[in-house]
A = this chain, B = another copy of it.
């Protein structure tokens, strides 16, 4: 396949090693690789990270130095529920915060297999409660996340609803992993063109996270839930990812429940291309588009 976007073609060349048949990494090596890749990307100019404890959850508060922002993004990082941290997503959280004119809180939620479902949901809910307890109104918070963190965004919104907590102003999901059964037509169509994700890899991570829980549990796989009364949803996915159908089925589930949805499918883009905005003009554009949406939902 010839790609029209030269940046995505170049990035694919650099990522090709990830799909070499000989490549087998232990979970520890995967975690280290992820952190190393993230170190290639820079935070938004003038933004700084500060460690906080959000009701017991270690987290980073990321904000422009010397400037107060009232609105907040609670950002839930990706990594298949088994890797990733505030370190791997500091740069993206700061870029999204800049675009939305909101500070970001990135919890280092507990990971599987050490801490399986529902540890991640519990930590996300605790972080949200902490923001509320700091005085942030729910209408001043957007919940956002990528990949597993995108599924976790909707799972957390369900948990908030069921706990009687107010919904945030909006939910922004980047390439969400929203079905831990690995269902959907895109797994077949995009197996060759997705440089990151494979059904086998996601099966492994789902097994580690679920640790025996039903993969159709709504707070693990929100496409199987009743999404009634959730906040408005913005979904971004790339046209070249095996998780594409997670996005369209999440949009359907939300629409069936009466929730406001905007879904955007970006041609040629790959799993969580926003994360690689340093290399991709389309990543910067997607962040700007999402920033406009978040600002609107935050009333700004």
- Whether A249 contacts B251 in the complex (CB less than 8 A), given A265-B261, A268-B258, comes out as no
In this assembly, does A186 line the interface, its C-beta being within 8 Å of a C-beta of chain B?
A: yes
Contact B239 A259 (CB under 8 A): yes
Question: Does A189 touch B at the CB level, under 8 Å?
Answer: yes
User: Nearest chain-B residue to A1 (Cβ)?
Assistant: B258
Interface size class of A (residues with CB under 8 A): 20 to 34
Q: Decide yes or no: A263 and B261 within 8 Å by CB, A244-B252, A252-B245, A256-B185 being known contacts.
A: yes
CB of A243, distance to nearest CB on chain B (Å): 11
Number of copies: 2
Bitwise interface map of A from 261 to 281 toward B, beta carbon under 8 Å scored 1, else 0 = 111111110000000000000
Known: A248-B249, A248-B251. A240 touches B260 (CB 8 A): no
Does chain B have a CB within 8 A of A113?
Answer: no
Indicate with 1 or 0, residue by residue over A216-240, a CB within 8 angstroms of chain B CB atoms. Answer: 0000000000000000000001011
Is the pair B267, A258 in contact by a Cβ cutoff of 8 Å? yes
Contact of A248 among B240, B252, B267, B268 (CB under 8 A): B252
Quick check: A267 and B260 within 8 Å, CB to CB?
Answer: yes
Which of chain B's residues have a CB closer than 8 A to the CB of A264?
261-263
Closest chain-B Cβ to A285's Cβ sits at a distance in Å of 12
A-B contact pairs, 5 of them (CB 8 A): A186-B252, A248-B252, A254-B265, A258-B267, A260-B266
